[in-house]
Amino acid sequence: MRIAVISDIHGNLEALEATLDRLSQESIDKIVSLGDIVGYGVDPNACVELVRKSCHVSLIGNHDRAALGQLDISYFNPYAKKSVVWTGEMLSEQNRDYIDGLPTMVIDDELSICFVHSTPLKPEEWNYIFTVYDARVNFNFFSEWICFIGHSHQPVYILMNKKGEIYVHGSARLPVDKSLRYIINVGSVGQPRDGNPSSSCVIYDTESRLVELMRTPYNIELTQLKMHKAEIHPFLVERLTYGR
């Protein structure tokens, strides 16, 4: 089976369409969305509808929760705050209901995989895994072999061996091995922040036991033009050019 894992679309329709287009040529059996479908971008409804149509598993992220008015956004940066309010007003009733029904974490027992937007430890506290310490703590809060996450918008493969030692795997191709455990951040479709502006996601092939990072260029200029027209703050518009 080939599973694609996408995350952090953030209302960026051009990035989502380009990614799904590419996945349609990759003989994918199942697409999993890890949440933050909305927030920042100008196409929240179209993105939710496309996720509903294309993804077999779909999770809620903190921006989705915030757009429903169910999250204290006092800690959000001013850009995120404003965009959450804007997104909340834009979302149709039907799409709000859809988001409201999404789970926070999904476990696939057969494949021994855990899917979550933020962290396996208290997922609705929306913490990040940035350090070896964060990773070590979180490995104790899922029992599956692999945990796929999003949230930081930075793709990374974190490995733990039987002795509890933690490594970061540097290349885009990761052969997975039963003697190790993994936390895999799939990066962001609609707002990458690792210095590469192309959309990010991963494909996991359960037979060849290979995880591959897939970067897809999309029409950033069109996305930015739409954001300008909607009077989104220039900071949010320009960062897409740099993937920061």
Binding site for Zn ion (CB under 5 A): 8, 36
Q: Report the C-alpha gap between 127 and 224 in whole angstroms.
A: 29
Residue number, 8 or 17, with CB nearest to Zn ion: 8
Closest-CA residue to 160 (of 141, 126, 152, 172): 141
In the complex, the smallest distance separating the C-beta of residue 42 from Zn ion, rounded to whole angstroms, is: 16
Residue number, 6 or 174, with CB nearest to Zn ion: 6
Q: What are the beta bridge partners of residue 149?
A: 185
In the complex, the smallest distance separating the C-beta of residue 210 from Zn ion, rounded to whole angstroms, is: 26
Q: Residue 140 in contact with residue 153, Cβ under 8 Å?
A: no
How many CA atoms lie within 13 Å of 169's alpha carbon, on the beta-carbon side? 21
Helix (H) or strand (E) holding 107: strand 105-108
Residue number, 95 or 159, with CB nearest to Zn ion: 95
Residue number, 181 or 215, with CB nearest to Zn ion: 215
Residue nearest Zn ion, CB atom distance: 36
Q: Map residue 97 onto helix, strand or coil.
A: helix
In the complex, the smallest distance separating the C-beta of residue 40 from Zn ion, rounded to whole angstroms, is: 8
In the complex, the smallest distance separating the C-beta of residue 61 from Zn ion, rounded to whole angstroms, is: 6
